[in-house]
Amino acid sequence: MCEKSSCQTTVVHLKIQAHTTTMVKSTSMDALTSGKKSAQLKREILRRYMVNGGESIADLSRELGLSVPTLTKIVTELIEEDLVTDLGKQGATGGRRPSIYGLNPAAGYFMGVDIKRDVIVMGIINFRGDMVVSRQYDFIIENTRQSFDELCNHITQFIASSRIRRDKLLAIGINISGRVNPESGYSYSYFFFDEKPLTTVLEERLGYRVFIENDSRAMTYGEYMYGVGNNEQNMIFLNLSWGFGIGMILGGELHYGKSGFSGEYGHFPFFDNEIICSCGKRGCLETEVSGWAAHRQFIEKLKQGNISMLSKQFESGQQITLADILDVLGKEDMLAIEVMEQIGAQLGRAIAGLINMFNPDVIVLGGTLYEAKDYLLLPIKSAINKYALNFVSKDTAVKVSKLGESAGLIGICAITRNKMLGL
Ligand SMILES: [Zn+2]
Å from CA of 251 to ligand 1 middle: 28
Q: What is the mean pLDDT of each run of 10 residues along the chain (423 residues)?
A: 35 31 45 68 92 92 93 94 90 74 96 93 96 95 93 96 94 92 92 92 96 96 93 94 95 91 93 93 97 97 97 96 97 98 97 95 96 95 94 91 96 96 84
Å from CA of 264 to ligand 1 middle: 9
Å from CA of 217 to ligand 1 middle: 18
pLDDT at residue 91 in the model: 65
Å from CA of 350 to ligand 1 middle: 15
Q: What is the CATH number of domain 231-401?
A: 3.30.420.40
Å from CA of 396 to ligand 1 middle: 27
What is the domain partition of the chain in residue ranges? 28-106, 108-219+408-421, 231-401
Å from CA of 78 to ligand 1 middle: 48
pLDDT at residue 9 in the model: 31
Same fold, 108-219+408-421 and 231-401: yes
Instruction: State the CATH architecture for 28-106.
Output: Orthogonal Bundle (1.10)
pLDDT at residue 134 in the model: 97
Å from CA of 276 to ligand 1 middle: 8
Decide if domain 108-219+408-421 falls under CATH 3.40.50.300.
no
pLDDT at residue 29 in the model: 55
Å from CA of 242 to ligand 1 middle: 13
Å from CA of 281 to ligand 1 middle: 5
Å from CA of 349 to ligand 1 middle: 18
Å from CA of 232 to ligand 1 middle: 29
Å from CA of 296 to ligand 1 middle: 16
Å from CA of 228 to ligand 1 middle: 28
pLDDT at residue 32 in the model: 56
pLDDT at residue 217 in the model: 95
Q: Are strands 210-214 and 169-176 parallel, antiparallel or unpaired?
A: parallel
Å from CA of 118 to ligand 1 middle: 21
Å from CA of 320 to ligand 1 middle: 24
Å from CA of 93 to ligand 1 middle: 61
Å from CA of 269 to ligand 1 middle: 8
